[in-house]
A = this chain, B = another copy of it.
Amino acid sequence: MNANGPTTRRDVLHAIGVMGGASVLYQSMTTMGHAAETQFKGPPNLSGARPGASVLVLGAGLAGMLAAYELGKAGYKVQILEYNMRPGGRNWSIYGGDTVTELGGATQQIGFAKGNYLNPGPWRIPYHHRTILHYCKAFGVALEPFIQLNQQALVHSSKAFGGKPQRYRELAADWDGNVAELLGKAIDNKGLDSAMTPEDGDKLKVALREWGFLDKNMKYTRGDKASKRRGYDRAAGGGVDGAPIPSTPFAFKDVVDSKIWAVIAQHMDEDRQMTMFQPVGGMGMIGKAFGRQVEGKVRYGAKVTKIDQSGGAVTVTYTDVASGAVQTAKADYCVCTIPLGILSQIELDASTGLKAAIAAVPYSNSVKIGLEMKSRYWEEDDEEIYGGISFTDRPISMISYPSTGLHSAGPAVILGAYTFGPASYKFAGMTPDARVAEALEQGSVFHPGKYKENFTAGASWAWSRSPFTLGCCAQWNEDTRKEHYQTLVKVDDRIVLAGEHASYIGCWMEGALLSSLDAITRLHKRALEA
């Protein structure tokens, strides 16, 4: 801030924020044309920590490690207890050579080639998740583009085209084209006279023609216009046979039945809009980088069994997983990032309200399956698929092609299933081998004759059988938000909860980090007031 008053836009906004409160601030930002796409305001200001004050952090996931990192920087004495033998929590990549074990004992020795991986949890980062992007930069995590939208990828519906997958490109072109033609027709039929003037209708028709690749008669039909988007039956070329041959759009009924509109919408959702990122070498590189920042502060293999906050301190009892020895750790305050499904089973000395909140929020399940393939055949010949996602209404829901190493030799790992809801419990109930076999069977609809044939090794993770989370992520609804959310995030004497479950960006790393920053900011305030 300039001594003579606020001079930068940020200063002005800060001044408005201080003077008029949050609602005035957001109104001003909107007026200035900058809708806020993040609540991240930079690393927290935790100045003035009392010398010797200590914080115990439960969980070395991203929320816990960020809390420890920032509190440590501010002068707090910090210790982390972590159940796993590694940092990262759900931020994690399973590599070739790894061994993983789910609840129930199913153990997989991962046969992927060295360096190949499955991201069982998070796998992509939106551009507007500023907190995770900020700390990736700060902690030296190299990022590369994650290819979300690939128009050449496939869309499969058992209810359209006799179950034959079609290109996103063709379906999306035909969807837009038909919508444009129909709306143009409605304008001509005066079906929208109440909604617009004739002049506006004419203007809109010009726009619809260009947007929908319509011909000069406002028809979406076989010809050069539509083919420029959906592709040609014979592509343009060079020399004597260079002239292209147009393609014929699909019947609109089939296009609607393919549910391409839902796939388009998914790509347009703010959380999946281009540009997206992934860390070079696997999502787990983030957990590892955070881990390096809190090195020496983490007690791994520690299973928390009891959290007490009587007597002006927090005392946590935990079991050393390897030896079974019971130990305790003590601090002035506690940041607890343990997932709610596990926390609800731990003896917790907290308000009735907080305990009710913890018990009120169920967790979703998801199973992800990685399938390593000998070669990148999907990039070759007439496939031409470089990254992106092919969607299906089969239980696997999608297969996703690697966004990196494009055009290189194999082997490479396809995400062979990303299951939700009932399908995920069905997959979770199978052996790892059976999951892989089923995923190969279902996914081969996209690449018949190649998919199973090129398979080399599989890996999977069922979050409902994940010992350190007992589920995928917290599932709030309108009612539980109203009744329990503010209680869940409130500092409860000496304890504050953090994690994606304590945010409105559930299931995303960004939610975990923003929750953590908010929690430690308030805990710090509480500590100063003590």
* CB under 8 Å from chain B, chain A span 238-269: 238-245, 247, 253, 256, 259, 261-262, 264-265, 268-269
Asked if A24 is at the interface of the complex by the 8 Å CB criterion, the answer is no
**Across the interface, do B235 and A37 meet the contact criterion of CB distance under 8 Å?**
yes
In the complex where A236-B503, A239-B514 touch, is A130 in contact with B384 (Cβ < 8 A)?
yes
The answer to whether residues A238 and B150 also contact, given A145-B406, A233-B30, A233-B35 and a CB cut-off of 8 A, is no
For A149, list chain B residues within 8 Å (CB).
149, 274
Contact in complex: B256, A386 (CB < 8 Å): no
Q: How far is the CB of A237 from chain B (nearest CB, A)?
A: 3
Residue of A150, A175, A261 with highest tally of chain B CB at under 10 A: A261
Beta-carbon contact of A211 and B262 below 8 Å: yes
A192 touches B186 (CB 8 A): yes
Q: For the complex, what is the distance from the CA of A247 to the CA of B29, rounded to whole Å? A: 12
Alpha-carbon distance between A235 and B37 when the two chains are bound, in angstroms: 5
Q: Are A234 and B26 in contact (CB under 8 A)?
A: yes
In the complex, what residues of B have CB within 8 A of residue A489's CB? 238-240, 242
| A504 in complex: contacting residue of B39, B243, B490, B513, CB < 8 Å | B243
Cross-chain contact B275 with A241 (CB below 8 angstroms) = no
Beta-carbon contacts under 8 Å, A378-430 to B = 381-382, 384-388, 403, 406-407
Measured between alpha carbons, how far is A211 from B192 in the docked complex, in Å? 20
Residue numbers in B under 8 Å from A321 (CB-CB): none
A501: shortest Cβ distance to chain B, in Å? 10
Contacts of A36 in B (CB 8 A): 232-235, 382
Q: Is A15 an interface residue (CB 8 A)?
A: no
Give the residue name and chain of the B residue nearest to A26 (CB).
B234
Q: For A185, what are the chain B residues with a Cβ–Cβ distance below 8 Å? A: 191-192, 195
The listed residue (B182, B191, B211, B230) touching A264 by CB distance below 8 A is: B211
Contact A210 B242 (CB under 8 A): no
Q: Which of A76-84, A112-120, A516-524 binds B?
A: A516-524
Of B182, B235, B502, the residue contacting A186 (CB under 8 A) is B182
Instruction: Determine if A364 is an interface residue (Cβ-Cβ < 8 Å).
Output: no
* Complex Cα spacing A170 to B270, Å: 10
Task: Say yes or no: is A324 at the interface (Cβ < 8 Å to chain B).
Answer: no
- A87-95, A199-207, A458-466 - interface stretch: A199-207
- Chain B: which residue is nearest A499 at the CB level? B238
Determine whether the beta carbon of B253 is less than 8 Å from that of A152.
no
CB < 8 Å neighbour of A239 from B180, B195, B519: B519
Given contacts A238-B517, A242-B514, A513-B238, contact A176 B268 (CB under 8 A): yes
| A359 CB-CB contact with B under 8 Å | no
Distance from A36 Cβ to chain B, minimum over Cβ atoms (Å): 5
- A160 contacts the other chain (CB 8 A): no
At the interface, yes or no: A108 with Cβ under 8 Å from chain B?
A: no
Residues of B within 8 A of A175 (CB): 211
* Interface check A58, CB cutoff 8 A: no
A270 touching B231 in the complex, CB below 8 Å, given contacts A237-B503, A382-B34, A515-B238:
yes
- Alpha-carbon distance between A478 and B504 when the two chains are bound, in angstroms: 57
Chain B nearest Cβ from A525, distance in angstroms: 12
Given A182-B195, A231-B37, A518-B239: A277 in contact with B211 (beta carbons within 8 A): no
Encoded as 1 (CB less than 8 Å from any B CB) or 0, chain A from 159 to 183 comes to: 0000010000110110110011011
A374 within 8 A of B: no
Which residues between 485 and 515 of chain A lie within 8 Å of chain B, taking CB atoms? 485-486, 489-490, 498, 502-505, 511-515
For the complex, is A68 an interface residue (Cβ under 8 Å from B)? no
Q: Which of B183, B203, B512 contacts A182 (CB 8 A)?
A: B183
Q: Give the CA-CA distance A269 to B232 in the complex, in Å.
A: 12
User: Which residues of A (275-307) have their CB < 8 Å from a CB of B?
Assistant: 275, 277
Cβ-closest chain B residue relative to A247: B35
Q: Which residues of A are interface residues toward B (Cβ below 8 A)?
A: 10, 22, 26, 29-30, 33-39, 127-128, 130, 133, 136-137, 143-145, 147, 149-152, 164, 169-170, 172-173, 175-176, 179-180, 182-183, 185-186, 189-192, 194-195, 200, 203-204, 207-208, 210-211, 213, 227-245, 247, 253, 256, 259, 261-262, 264-265, 268-270, 273-275, 277, 381-382, 384-388, 403, 406-407, 481, 485-486, 489-490, 498, 502-505, 511-519, 522
- Contacts A/B (CB < 8 Å), 9 sampled: A22-B241, A35-B247, A147-B274, A191-B192, A229-B265, A236-B505, A237-B503, A237-B514, A242-B502
Task: List 9 tightest A-B contacts by C-beta distance, closest first.
Answer: A191-B191, A239-B518, A238-B515, A39-B237, A186-B186, A238-B514, A238-B503, A211-B261, A236-B504
